[in-house]
Amino acid sequence: MRISSDAMAIRLRHSSPRVSITTFFRVKYLWVSVRTILLVLLYYSFSIGITFYQKWFIKEFHFPLIVVTCHLVIKFILSWLCRVVSKIFVYTIFSRRARVLLPWNVYIRHLAVTGVASALDIGFSNWSFEFITISLYTMTKSTCIIFILAFSLSFGLEQRRPSLIVVVCLIGVGLFLFTYQSTQFNLEGFLLVLSASALAGLRWTLAQLVMQRKELGTSIKPHMKF
């Protein structure tokens, strides 16, 4: 009985680290899952809310490109404020690293296309609200996934896999079935949203390429927005 107790104690002592490591990874996986779900729900809440707000606002204010200009100016100001705060508290006090400063030729060569695509994406999306319903807008804008995949394959960010082709075909068929013989279909608004989806695909693909280039210093989101 003495031997069996000692053997059991040794076994528990050797097995407890494994149990603790397993528990740690389970808790970490659970926390990552919960955090991801909460972030997705938060994103969808803001996305749906701003879609209805833009639809209501464009009906009252028929200047969508001016709205886009104000939107981008506000983003520029907020990004500039974040850079100022980071310069004071992060780069000067804590890390003492140099702040990211890009020359104008880098802005023009690497960031101008992303900025233009972003502006036209938002502008065409807002403009389309004058012609189509929110349901048609949402379904058509979901084709952005198709364009993201197409540009990702073109720029070498994704590998060609049969599953991706099947998903793209299903999205295309679903869009066709939704818009076929729709009583509230408007060709002009539909083309505006489709153009916005194509520009969004180009925008997000280029944004990923730029943010993955560490030498540009744009992996930090406020710098990228600025």
Give the largest CA-CA distance in the chain: 88
Helical packing angle, 2-60 and 64-85, nearest 10° = 140
pLDDT of residue 96: 55
Helices within 103-159 (DSSP H only): 104-106, 112-128, 134-141, 144-155
Residue 40 structure tokens: 């997705």
* Per-residue pLDDT tens digits of the chain, which is 226 residues long: 444 555 555 554 555 555 567 776 777 888 888 988 999 899 888 888 887 888 788 777 777 778 878 888 888 888 888 877 776 666 555 455 555 566 667 667 777 888 888 888 888 888 888 888 887 888 888 888 888 888 888 887 777 788 877 887 787 777 777 666 665 778 888 899 999 999 998 988 888 887 776 555 554 455 555 4
pLDDT of residue 3: 47
> Which of 223, 192, 218, 210 is CA-nearest to residue 121?
192
| Residue 179 to residue 139: CA distance in whole angstroms | 9
The residue behind tokens 């709205």 is 67
The residue behind tokens 């004058």 is 130
pLDDT of residue 1: 45
pLDDT of residue 99: 56
- Give me the sign of the Cα torsion angle 147, 148, 149, 153: positive
| Residue 153 to residue 160: CA distance in whole angstroms | 7
pLDDT of residue 37: 92
> Which of 211, 71, 189, 206 is CA-nearest to residue 137?
189
Residue 93: which H helix or E strand, with range?
A: none
pLDDT of residue 12: 47
